[in-house]
Amino acid sequence: MYSASIKNNRGPSTLFFHLLVIAGINVMVILRANNVTIKNRRKHLGALGTELTKEYVQRRATMVSLPRKLKKNIRERLNINAENAAGNEMSSSSSTGGGSSCKICPAKIRRQSKTQCNLM
Domain membership of residue 115 (yes or no) is: no
Per-residue pLDDT of the chain (120 residues; tens, 9 = 90+): 455 556 667 777 778 878 888 888 888 888 888 888 777 777 877 787 788 888 888 888 888 888 888 888 888 888 776 555 555 544 444 444 456 666 666 666 666 666 656 554
pLDDT digits (tens, 9 = 90+) for 14-32: 788 788 888 888 888 888 8
Whether 69 maps to a domain, the answer reads: no
4 within a domain of the structure (yes/no):
yes
Domain assignment of residue 30, yes or no? yes
In this prediction the pTM is: 0.46
Q: Is residue 9 part of a domain?
A: yes
Do residues 73 and 85 make contact, with C-beta atoms less than 8 angstroms apart? Answer: no
In a domain, 71, yes or no: no
Segment 59-70, tens digit of pLDDT = 888 888 888 888
Domain that holds residue 17: 1-61
Total domains in the fold of the chain = 1
Q: What are the Cα distances from residue 12, in Å, to 9, 64, 103, 120? A: 9, 24, 33, 22
> Would 96 be classed as within a structural domain?
no
Residue 27 counted as domain residue: yes
CA distance 18 to 74: 24
